[in-house]
């Protein structure tokens, strides 16, 4: 294309099509009349009216050509990319030729003194369709032929799972693209009606239970799962089967996610471990979140952490008056600040504030609340690593418990509307310091809810996939290092959720909050950590136990075989979101609780003291063995 926007190649192509169509109109007219006499020219010329009919054709030819070219233009016969032509283009082609035949019938009846045989118009239209189709589809047919001839040269054999629209579009693109050196050898689909059928020349060879056999028969190197709308449970079962094949696995995202509904090979991604959880994502009511966040000053403590930073990402989209990111770790705070500035430069200029400070610092917390009077507080600042907190219990108390206490006191004093604590399933019948401190935090929140107009709530969820310190990044690092992958116990199970799901729960809990509730997510079936490790090894292209060893290290101090979401005393209430439930507040002696909390504060500052005794007093469900831990008898055991 030159500077004036002239595309020479496009002009030449369209001019060639127009010239071809002029010849096609002339040829169709002649063939239509000749076919009336069984393709016998001698029989035609011996007919009484033959000269009249031949004269009619040639006399009307200019009108026929001009009207046909105009009709073809309006049917986009010169604008379509015929190399990608499909059913819609074929429909337009037939419509254009039928219109041309109809126009010729009407025109000849009006202009010519003597009409043509009625069968002529049908024969003309039929030949025009054939000749025009040849011009439009010849290149594609030729390229398909060449592709079949060169298919053996492609170095990757592919199996596509899913014979729906996504699979159809994917196979078509892979077969026609000259840039993809992959051959689709077979298709898998559970629908019995599709068994034995062909999609773009590729056979549907069976259902999910035929995958392993088909992989061997067709020497498959790569499996692409094209099931964007299938239930997560079905996808998980299929992926479990695929992992036994040692093939490279990829999945196709939902068509609704892609521009104009087009499925592209470029959208293929590696199978993610989240695909194996077997649960559909939690849906939230965006309108309810918008209603209580929009135009408000929002404070996120620990705003640079995994949960805190995702909270900030989602809150920004709901148009708060001011978003305050408060974190002790300047690098984390800086990272999320720069990310938000790049994505939302207009918003961040006047509506984003990043402050460095610790929730353990009473004066700093007081200063932030006094200056900015946050309407909504999301308290995500905490120490969360279970093994590390077991050997540094005093730090867990100072940061988790006392930090929460200070932020709650400030929120109450400066009349924040809502306070939302980020809690954990480890707070239920805790066997470790981290879980016990989080249970005390929940008790603080429920106690403060009775003191004033601020609504204090907690949100309790399980393990977050991909968060810093979680099992997935650890497994990935171990696999990259060649193993072994360490699992504490083959029986250990955990509930999992994604980071966006966890944050969605937190946001919607704030919308539902009336005060004193503990919100709990229904996270579906728990996952065995051993299965998770095996799946991740397979997804990385290795065989568990052969290429990468799995080593069992034994339960760590304070670690459970399974986590619980509710304590026995807590009832369960539904919310408008059926996957979010509410644990009822537990009755407690508030005055005695705060007296014990003050004692715990004092004892935690005595670095030699074993604070587990005071924690047990505050949390009767906390289970531990006296005399164990870092500070028993002043020794590190």
Is residue 327 a contact partner of residue 308, using CB atoms and an 8 Å limit? yes
Q: Which one has a higher pLDDT value, 256 or 234?
A: 234
Residue with tokens 């060449």: 146
Query: What does the pLDDT read at residue 464?
Result: 66
Mean pLDDT lowest for which of 42-56, 324-338, 343-357, 569-583? 569-583
Is 225 in contact with 251 (CB distance < 8 Å)?
Answer: yes
- Nearest Cα neighbor of 283 from 494, 520, 578 is 578
CA 420 and chain centroid, separation: 27
Residues 476 and 537: beta-carbon distance below 8 Å = no
Q: Is 629 exposed, middle or buried (0-12, 13-18, 19+ CB in 10 A)?
A: buried
Q: Where is pLDDT greater, at 257 or 160?
A: 160
Per-residue pLDDT at 579 exceeds 80: no
Which value, to the nearest 10 degrees, does the dihedral of the CA atoms of residues 390, 393, 398, 404 take?
Answer: 50
pLDDT of 439 reads 92
Three-state secondary-structure class, residue 38: coil
**Mean pLDDT computed over 78-92:** 70
Convert the pLDDT of each residue in 478-537 to its tens digit.
887 888 889 888 888 776 777 777 787 788 877 887 888 888 876 666 778 888 888 778
Q: Whole-angstrom Cα distance, residue 346 to residue 351?
A: 9
Least Cα distance to 437 among 397, 381, 402 occurs for: 397
Confidence of residue 257 (pLDDT cuts 50, 70, 90): very low
| Mean pLDDT of the region 238-243 | 86
Among 72-76, 392-396, 458-462, the range with the most confident prediction by mean pLDDT is: 392-396
Query: Which of the four pLDDT bands, split at 50, 70 and 90, describes residue 86?
Result: low
| Between residues 72 and 285, the one the model is more confident about | 72
Which segment of 10-14, 452-456, 469-473 scores lowest on mean pLDDT?
469-473
Lookup: tokens for 633: 């008898």
| Catalytic site residue from 182, 398, 406, 426 | 426
Check pLDDT > 70 for residue 637: no
For 461, phi then psi, to 5°, come to -140, 175
Q: In whole angstroms, give the CA distance from residue 461 to residue 367.
A: 31
> In CATH, which superfamily holds the domain spanning 154-271?
NAD(P)-binding Rossmann-like Domain (3.40.50.720)
Q: Where are the alpha helices (DSSP H) in 1-40?
A: 8-35
Q: Are 312 and 340 in contact (CB under 8 A)?
A: yes
Q: Look at residue 634 in the predicted model and tell me its pLDDT.
A: 36
Whole-angstrom CA distances from 165 to 158, 182, 199, 225, 229 are: 18, 20, 11, 13, 10
8 A C-beta contact, residue 166 and residue 140: no
**Residue 177: how many CB atoms within 10 A of its CB?**
13
In the prediction, which pLDDT does 355 show?
A: 96
Average pLDDT over residues 601-622: 82
Mean pLDDT of 404-430: 92
Task: Please confirm, yes or no, whether 528 is among the known catalytic residues.
Answer: no
How high is the pLDDT of residue 282? 61
Q: How confident is the model at residue 255 (pLDDT cuts 50, 70, 90)?
A: very low
pLDDT value, residue 262: 38
Highest mean pLDDT, choosing among 17-31, 49-63, 75-89, 508-522? 17-31
Residues of the chain above pLDDT 90, percent: 25
pTM: 0.59
**Phi, psi of 453, deg, nearest 5:** -85, -15
- Out of 339-353, 461-475, 489-503, the most confident range is 339-353
Does the pLDDT of residue 199 top 70, yes or no? yes
Mean per-residue pLDDT for 561-578?
57
So what's the pLDDT on residue 340? Answer: 94
Contact present, 7 and 106 (Cβ < 8 Å): no
Q: How confident is the model at residue 379 (pLDDT cuts 50, 70, 90)?
A: very high
Give yes or no for residue 574 having a pLDDT over 90: no
Q: Which residue has the higher pLDDT, 364 or 115?
A: 364
605 has pLDDT over 60: yes
Residue 52: predicted pLDDT: 76
Give dist(CA 360, CA 383) in Å, integer.
12
Greater pLDDT, 408 or 93: 408
Average pLDDT of every residue of the chain: 80
Is 360's pLDDT higher than 70? yes
Domain boundaries, the chain: 9-147, 154-271, 286-618
Structure tokens at 357: 């400070």
Reading the block at residue 322, the tokens are 């001011």
Concatenating the DSSP letter of every residue in 488-516 gives: S-TT-EE-EEEHHHHHHHHHHHHHH--SS
Residue 269 has pLDDT above 70, yes or no: no
Q: Does domain 286-618 have CATH number 3.60.10.10?
A: no
Confidence of residue 627 (pLDDT cuts 50, 70, 90): low
pLDDT at residue 187, as a whole number: 94
pLDDT at residue number 566: 46
Residue from 426, 431, 419 nearest 381 by CA: 419
**How many Cβ atoms sit within 10 Å of the Cβ of residue 6?**
9
């Amino acid at each position: 294309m030159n500077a004036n926007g002239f595309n020479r190649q496009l002009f030449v192509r369209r001019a060639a099509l127009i010239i071809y169509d002029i010849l096609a109109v002339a040829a169709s007219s002649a063939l239509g009349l000749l076919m009336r006499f069984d393709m016998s020219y001698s029989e035609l010329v011996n007919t009484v009216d033959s000269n009249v009919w031949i004269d009619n054709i040639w006399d009307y030819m200019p009108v026929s050509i001009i009207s046909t070219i105009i009709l073809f233009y309006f049917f986009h016969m010169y604008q379509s990319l015929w190399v990608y032509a499909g059913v819609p283009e074929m429909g337009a082609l037939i419509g254009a030729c039928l219109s041309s035949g109809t126009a010729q019938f009407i025109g000849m009846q009006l202009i010519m003194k003597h009409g043509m045989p009625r069968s002529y118009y049908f024969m003309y239209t039929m030949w025009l369709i054939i000749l025009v189709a040849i011009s439009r589809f010849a290149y594609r047919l030729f390229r398909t032929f060449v592709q079949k001839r060169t298919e053996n040269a492609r170095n990757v054999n592919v199996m596509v799972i899913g014979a729906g629209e996504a699979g159809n579009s994917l196979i078509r693109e892979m077969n026609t693209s000259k840039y993809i050196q992959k051959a689709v050898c077979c298709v898998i689909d559970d629908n019995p009606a599709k068994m034995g059928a062909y999609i773009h020349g590729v056979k549907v060879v069976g259902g999910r239970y035929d995958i392993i056999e088909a992989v061997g028969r067709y020497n498959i190197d790569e499996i692409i799962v094209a099931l964007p709308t299938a239930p997560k449970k079905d996808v998980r079962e299929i992926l479990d089967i695929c992992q036994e094949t040692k093939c490279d696995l990829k999945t196709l995202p939902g068509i609704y996610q892609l521009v104009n509904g087009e499925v592209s090979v470029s959208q293929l991604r590696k199978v993610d471990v989240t695909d194996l959880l077997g649960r559909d994502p939690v849906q939230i009511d965006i309108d309810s979140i918008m209603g209580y966040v929009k135009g408000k000053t929002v404070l996120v403590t620990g705003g640079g952490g995994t949960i805190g930073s995702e909270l900030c990402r989602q809150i920004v989209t709901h148009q708060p008056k001011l978003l305050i990111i408060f974190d002790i770790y300047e690098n984390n705070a800086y990272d999320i600040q720069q990310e938000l500035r790049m994505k939302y430069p207009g918003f961040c200029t006047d509506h984003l504030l990043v402050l460095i400070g610790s929730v353990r610092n009473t004066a700093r917390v007081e200063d932030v609340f006094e200056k900015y009077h946050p309407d909504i507080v999301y308290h995500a600042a905490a120490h969360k690593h279970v093994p590390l907190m077991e050997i540094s219990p005093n730090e867990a108390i100072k940061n988790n418990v006392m930090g929460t206490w200070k932020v709650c006191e400030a929120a109450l004093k400066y009349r924040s509307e809502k306070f939302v604590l980020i809690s954990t399933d480890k707070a239920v019948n805790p066997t470790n310091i981290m879980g016990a401190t989080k249970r005390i935090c929940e008790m603080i929140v429920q106690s403060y809810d009775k003191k004033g107009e601020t609504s204090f709530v907690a949100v309790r969820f399980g393990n977050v996939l991909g968060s810093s310190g979680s099992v997935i990044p650890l497994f990935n690092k171990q696999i990259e290092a060649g193993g072994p992958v360490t699992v504490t116990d083959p029986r250990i199970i955990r509930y999992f959720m994604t980071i966006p799901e966890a944050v969605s729960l937190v946001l919607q809990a704030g919308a539902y909050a009336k005060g004193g509730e503990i919100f709990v997510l229904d996270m579906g079936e728990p996952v065995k950590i051993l299965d998770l490790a095996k799946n991740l090894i397979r997804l990385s292209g290795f065989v568990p136990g052969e290429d990468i060893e799995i080593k069992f290290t034994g339960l760590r101090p304070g670690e459970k075989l399974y986590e619980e979401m509710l304590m026995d005393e807590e009832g369960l209430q539904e919310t408008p979101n059926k996957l979010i439930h509410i644990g009822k507040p537990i009755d407690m002696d508030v005055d005695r609780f705060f007296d014990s909390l003050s004692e715990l504060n004092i004892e935690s500052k005595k670095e030699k003291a074993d604070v587990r005794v005071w924690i047990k007093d505050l949390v009767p469900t906390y289970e531990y063995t006296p005399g164990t831990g870092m500070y028993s008898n002043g020794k590190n055991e």
